[in-house]
Chains A and B, each alone.
Chain A
């Protein structure tokens, strides 16, 4: 988010370098 212009800048090329992970992982076998 660009605080000055209050617009969200989306950089898909940059986003492609990473993968999202949301949530709390449990230890396998729990």
Chain B
């Protein structure tokens, strides 16, 4: 025969109810999503911008010089990633995973911030993204001689040239670049 003490059962039920209340409150705090990501220096502009802000308004607010840009002056789609310092966009890029490689489709330094080493910071971000994603290489097509000199100085491997010059960097290169000071 099983005896059930209804008084104890009621106490237990009350206890569970009291314990559950703070848990529910804590859970509510955890799932609350902030309107924008704070203290992030590299990411998709769609994730960095304010909720109701357009992509183009965001890049303008963060100091991107649309007027003088060669590649990023319109059509800021959700694939565009921003590289920031102190809330200002120093570079914009689009990368794409292709097999075991991260291809840099577009990359440009803010026309207002050139020759200050921001290209290096952008490439460090990209190398870090590829390395932390477990990819084996970074690949890109350099557009002009000025860019060729940049990628030569960064130690990337020149793979060949038809219209553009193709460069690659393997895992060792990624690690070396990430640690370079």
Contact = CB atoms under 8 A, between A and B. Distances in A.
Interface of A: 1, 7-12, 14-25, 28
Interface of B: 70-71, 73, 93-94, 104-109, 114-120, 122-123, 140-144, 146-147, 149-151, 153-158, 169, 172-173, 176-177, 180-181
B73 to A, nearest CB: 6
Nearest to A11: B153
A14 B73 CA distance: 28
Given A20-B109, A25-B71, A10 B153 contact: yes
Contacts of A19: 109, 114-115, 118-119, 146-147, 150
A22 B157 contact: no
A23 B105 CA distance: 6
A22 B153 contact: no
Q: Which of A20, A23, A28 has the most CB of B within 10 A?
A: A20
Given A1-B158, A22-B142, A17 B71 contact: no
Nearest to A26: B71
A25 B143 CA distance: 9
B151 A20 contact: yes
24 contacts: A1-B156, A8-B156, A8-B157, A8-B176, A11-B154, A11-B155, A15-B117, A15-B120, A15-B150, A18-B146, A19-B109, A20-B123, A20-B142, A20-B147, A21-B71, A21-B142, A21-B143, A21-B144, A21-B147, A22-B104, A23-B94, A23-B108, A23-B141, A25-B143
